[in-house]
Amino acid sequence: MSSKDKRVEGIRIKLNESAKKLKGENATFFDDLRDYLITSSIFYDELDVTEQTYNVCIDLIEAQKNGQTAQEYFGKNSRKLADSMIKNFKHASYREIIELIMLPIGIYWAISFISDFAATGPLKINIFEYLLIALLSIGVVVAVFKTIHKFIYLNENNLIRKSKVIQFIIGTIFFGCIIGVFLAISMLTPPIWIIKLTYPGDVILMLTIIAIFLGWIIIGKKRELYSITPFIVLMAAVGILQRIPVLLAIVGSSNIKFLAAGAAIGGFLINIIWGRIEMKKITRD
């Protein structure tokens, strides 16, 4: 973790602790403001965004101590305040933007590669398929941020804002469509620019990628990615089992498909449960 990341993390911890002091309408005002800033400042400097948000929180706490509400102190139009803040944010560096873009691409590529590796036969990598996945992953991130961004300042009486059930249904349909598109890309992409790897090169490559991936997550303390590691490790293990003759003889070739299904389902369930636990911890912190 870089010194800048440590500063951001330190300010974020103080911000979360300070936000707990806000009450009632002030807390709602600040939560909406913070969510709006986060979802609209994806390509702005994270340190600057976090510092400015923290300063607003401190100002609001002082106003609350003096008996003022957020609307009395900042004005009734909190969205206007947020937009004025966004205009003054520093832009992220090109390196940070590239890292931000490559993160979702890397995750989706890793999942696609693991799926290819877990399939029977020689490892085949369709370069054209991976390019399509990269474009889709960027589109998904932008769509998610813009959708959340639009929903934040919906009218209090709006059904989408009021009903958790409707939000869940919309979210389920949205991510179901994304999964459907990914499956369509995986199944329908023509075999263009195919790279084929055979044993032991495929196993060596897989072990190298897993080592780099786990090292990056652990050393970089990528807490938000902890939940996906079991899925990747389990699917990789299935792929390694079926590619090493000695291990395949022990397990039995007829059992590989059951192991692959079990690894996929088990990893997916662990990802959901662990992800929810981590999200609650992050929110509580």
**Token pair belonging to 28:** 């709602």
pLDDT value of residue 285: 52
Identify whether the C-beta of residue 229 lies closer than 8 Å to the C-beta of residue 214: yes
Angle of helix 127-152 relative to helix 24-40, nearest 10 degrees?
150
**Token pair belonging to 74:** 């900042």
Total-model pTM: 0.62
Angstrom CA distances, 193 to 127, 144, 189, stand at 5, 31, 11
Segments in the chain below pLDDT 50: 283
Angstrom CA distances, 178 to 19, 30, 232, stand at 34, 31, 19
pLDDT value of residue 184: 84
Burial letters for 59-95: b for 16+ Cβ neighbours within 10 Å, e otherwise? ebbebbeeeeebeeebeeebeebbeebeeebeebeee
pLDDT value of residue 5: 75
